[in-house]
Amino acid sequence: MCGIVGYAGENSALSVILESLKTLEYRGYDSAGISVLGSGIETYKSVGRIANLEAIIPNEISGNIGIGHTRWASHGRPNTVNSHPHNSGSPCKISVVHNGIIENYMALKDQLIAEGYEFKSETDTEVIAHLLHKHIYERPDGNVAKCDLLTGLRKTLKELEGSYALGVLCADEQGKLALARKNSPLVIGLGKGENFAASDVTAFLNYTRDVIFVNNFETAILTPTSVEIFDGEGKVREKKIERIEWDFEAAEKAGYEHFMLKEIHEQVSAIHNTLAGKVSELEGTISLDELNMSDEEIRKLSRVQILACGTSWHAGMLGKYLFEQLAGIHCDIDICSEYRYRSPVMNNGTFAIAITQSGETADTLAAVREIMSYNCPTLAITNVVGSTITREANSVLYTRAGPEIGVAATKTFSSQLTLLYLLAVKFALARGKLSPNHVKEFIMDLRKVPGQIQQILDQKETVKEYAEIFAQAKSYFFLGRNLNFPIALEGALKLKEISYLHAEGFAAGELKHGPIALLEKDTPVVIIATKGQTYERVLSNIKEVKARDATVIAIANSDDTEIGKYADFILTIPESNELLSPLLSVVVLQLLAYYTALARGCSIDKPRNLAKSVTVE
Ligand code: F6R
């Protein structure tokens, strides 16, 4: 997730853009940049926050049209060269800011290099700048425009696969800013003698509250006095002007009361971004080039060792089930703070996976150093490009969930799970445990998950209602079997963290071996009872709980006609592939924790005693 802004007006573009960018820093702040169109295009970029950028820009820079970007790296390290805007032409003819992911950028890059374009950065965005240049100026050294900016933009968009919100300047189109959108947010602000564009309205709320939301496949041309919007066919579109009534803080959360609720909703796009460019349902293949491992090398492995803490450890636990059940490879999972002190025995053929959303957790880094001291190949799964773990592990897979501001992890967890599914299926393919046909079906089911999460989010009022009923409970229990056991643990952790209620997660079959003594009349017990190989056993566990007069809240599939006979309350998830249902159940549990904390008046985004990144051992 990055933030883009654009300005076309009577004032100096520089000051408006810098001010707007500062309000978008919550979308990422590893580097920033700006281009201003005056007599030519001038570009300035810098690593770090907007203040660093401000410090390197000369005061005399002039121009009334401009674009800016604050970056959350997804392709290429956070450094000045990889920062946006990306330019093409010498002297610069095209300048581009981009939020999104271009999935086919490697193929486009090869083609553009063959045509004579020189690439400076490691980013996917640079292909857009050169493609625009190619369509408008025809040749890398061409300086005379052969078509206008809008025509060139439309030709370029036809070649892009993936997601984008784009702001584009062209040196030969004075007074104009071009925009385009597909699956990344983009909104236009309407002022007097000036118009604005940004990833969200916070960027220009100080200037105007009249906005037009740009839809997928629409393009736009902004000048200081006009806004023209076009549909995918290039026909002018009449758009509704909306008035924003939110205050600044609410706007930063896109109207959600808390970042955590926003991030729970963002799981729909986060999973989509995690998958982008990595799966082909046509061929039944998983491409994880970052793994740097051939199928032959995967076949030679005898064991996977996962290392993580907290929520990431729950993701890793599910990973163990997936590696063993799908790929038939032995897998261990360890809590990092324990791993170092238990003198682990290292087998030949071990492959290590460290999972950490922040990439900075001290315990995880220490465990990685320990396992790497045995020369064990180590993969990091993280959300933060350039974080410490990315410099230490042998290879890195990024979750691409965008910055997570709420302390309680939500979208980074589901993105970690998504990568673990892909890894386990890739291992299964390489080891001959799944055929390409099975993989095709699995990918098709995985692609349905974001839509299924949306269906759960659409029913969040029921979760809220139940959360309010039990908000004052003394203790809460969460039970699950098999793949749902780690999800039960995660449900309990989320509730503890943000509502300060006592909550425990157990393997449902373990209840009778001790924890059942804790059950009292009316204790809420959340039981994940989705269809699958342990369903009947889970129904027996529900009966055990009911026999102690506790209250059962079941998470069940929407087509389950049996569960109503056993559970007191039911929260449904759509029917799905059994293996993938944890990705759905966890969303219900995140919402339950959120609404419980809301009903208890807790500080949801910044819970007491917790930090987003735990950098001490
Ligand atoms: C829970 C949570 C923590 C983290 C843990 C590890 O919501 O966020 O339990 O999962 O501190 O953090 P990372 O994944 O950054 O290593």
* Residues of the chain above pLDDT 70, percent: 99
Measured in Å, residue 312 CA sits from the centre of ligand 1 at 6
Q: Is the Cβ atom of 123 under 6 angstroms away from ligand 1?
A: no
The closest alpha carbon to 152, from 196, 101, 96, 227, belongs to: 96
In 266-361, which residue ranges form alpha helices assigned H by DSSP?
267-275, 295-300, 310-327, 336-339
Q: Is the Cβ atom of 538 under 6 angstroms away from ligand 1?
A: no
pLDDT of residue 106: 94
Measured in Å, residue 102 CA sits from the centre of ligand 1 at 29
How many whole angstroms separate alpha carbon 325 and alpha carbon 323?
6
How many whole angstroms separate alpha carbon 566 and alpha carbon 569?
9
Q: What is the mean pLDDT of residues 564-588?
A: 97
- The CATH superfamily assigned to 3-245 is Aminohydrolase, N-terminal nucleophile (Ntn) domain (3.60.20.10)
**Token digits for 118?**
């020189």
**Token digits for 153?**
């933009």
Measured in Å, residue 505 CA sits from the centre of ligand 1 at 17
Residue nearest to atom 9 of ligand 1 (CA): 310
Q: Which of 27-31, 342-346, 613-617 has the lowest mean pLDDT?
A: 613-617
Pocket test of ligand 1: the residue of 496, 614, 616, 617 to mutate, having most ligand atoms within 8 Å of its CB, is: 614
* Residues of the chain above pLDDT 90, percent: 79
- Residue type present at position 417: L
pLDDT of residue 74: 72
Q: Is the Cβ atom of 310 under 6 angstroms away from ligand 1?
A: yes
Q: What is the mean pLDDT of residues 28-54?
A: 91
pLDDT of residue 1: 66
Q: Is the Cβ atom of 356 under 6 angstroms away from ligand 1?
A: yes
What are all long-range contacts of 284-289, with beta carbons under 8 Å and residues at least 24 apart?
284/429, 284/435, 284/436, 284/437, 284/438, 284/439, 284/440, 284/443, 285/429, 285/436, 285/439, 286/422, 286/425, 286/426, 286/429, 286/439, 286/443, 288/397, 288/422, 288/423, 288/426
**Would the pLDDT of 347 be above 90?**
no
Does the annotation count 2 as an active-site position? yes
**CA separation (Å) from 323 to 213, 310, 319, 328, 431?**
43, 20, 6, 6, 11
**Would the pLDDT of 617 be above 70?**
no
Regarding predicted confidence, which is higher, 385 or 195?
195
pLDDT of residue 126: 97
114-158 pLDDT, tens per residue?
Answer: 999 999 999 999 999 999 999 999 999 998 999 999 999 999 999
Residue-range domain boundaries for the chain:
3-245, 249-455, 459-617
Q: What is the mean pLDDT of residues 326-333?
A: 98
Q: Is the Cβ atom of 523 under 6 angstroms away from ligand 1?
A: no
How many whole angstroms separate alpha carbon 55 and alpha carbon 52?
5
User: What are the residues whose beta carbons fall under 8 Å from the beta carbon of 33, sequence distance 6 or more?
Assistant: 43, 44, 45, 46, 53, 68, 69, 71, 83, 84, 85, 97
Q: Is the Cβ atom of 311 under 6 angstroms away from ligand 1?
A: yes
The closest alpha carbon to 220, from 3, 2, 4, 6, belongs to: 6
3-class SS at 94? Answer: strand
Q: Is the Cβ atom of 497 under 6 angstroms away from ligand 1?
A: yes
Q: For 215, which DSSP code? A: P
In 328-386, which residue ranges form alpha helices assigned H by DSSP?
336-339, 362-372
- Tally Cβ neighbours within 10 Å of residue 333: 23
What are the beta bridge partners of residue 503?
476
- Residue type present at position 330: H
How many whole angstroms separate alpha carbon 485 and alpha carbon 317?
9
pLDDT of residue 477: 97
Pocket test of ligand 1: the residue of 258, 306, 312 to mutate, having most ligand atoms within 8 Å of its CB, is: 312
How many whole angstroms separate alpha carbon 77 and alpha carbon 89?
23
3-class SS at 246? Answer: coil
Question: Does CATH number 3.40.50.10490 belong to domain 249-455?
Answer: yes
Q: Do residues 27 and 51 make contact, with C-beta atoms less than 8 angstroms apart?
A: no
The closest alpha carbon to 133, from 99, 110, 156, 111, belongs to: 156
pLDDT of residue 610: 79
User: What are the residues whose beta carbons fall under 8 Å from the beta carbon of 176, sequence distance 6 or more?
Assistant: 8, 65, 149, 169, 170, 221, 222, 223
Given 2, 92, 331, 376, which residue is catalytic?
2
Query: What phi and psi, each to the nearest 5 degrees, are found at residue 441?
Result: -60, -40
pLDDT of residue 77: 79
Q: What is the mean pLDDT of residues 24-47?
A: 89
Q: For the chain, how long is the longest CA-to-CA vector? A: 82
The closest alpha carbon to 481, from 420, 530, 429, 552, belongs to: 530
pLDDT of residue 59: 76
Given 239, 440, 448, 612, which residue is catalytic?
612
How many whole angstroms separate alpha carbon 88 and alpha carbon 193?
29
Residue nearest to atom 11 of ligand 1 (CA): 310
- Tally Cβ neighbours within 10 Å of residue 601: 9
Q: Is the Cβ atom of 260 under 6 angstroms away from ligand 1?
A: no
Give 72's pLDDT tier (boundaries 50, 70, 90): confident
pLDDT of residue 132: 98
Does the annotation count 300 as an active-site position? no
Q: Is the Cβ atom of 480 under 6 angstroms away from ligand 1?
A: no
457-487 pLDDT, tens per residue?
Answer: 999 999 999 999 999 999 999 999 999 999 9
**CA separation (Å) from 617 to 92, 352, 390?**
49, 20, 19
pLDDT of residue 237: 94
Measured in Å, residue 310 CA sits from the centre of ligand 1 at 5
In the predicted model, what is the mean pLDDT of the chain?
A: 93
518-538 pLDDT, tens per residue?
Answer: 998 889 999 999 999 999 999
User: CATH topology for 459-617?
Assistant: Rossmann fold (3.40.50)
243-258 pLDDT, tens per residue?
Answer: 887 777 767 787 899 9
- Tally Cβ neighbours within 10 Å of residue 295: 13
The closest alpha carbon to 379, from 276, 321, 301, 270, belongs to: 301
Measured in Å, residue 368 CA sits from the centre of ligand 1 at 16
pLDDT of residue 340: 83
Q: Is the Cβ atom of 357 under 6 angstroms away from ligand 1?
A: yes
Measured in Å, residue 446 CA sits from the centre of ligand 1 at 25
Measured in Å, residue 479 CA sits from the centre of ligand 1 at 21
3-245 and 249-455: identical CATH topology: no
pLDDT of residue 444: 96
**Token digits for 45?**
């970029």
- Residue type present at position 565: K
268-278 pLDDT, tens per residue?
Answer: 999 999 999 89
Q: Which of 44-58, 162-176, 567-581 has the lowest mean pLDDT?
A: 44-58
Q: What is the mean pLDDT of residues 163-169?
A: 96
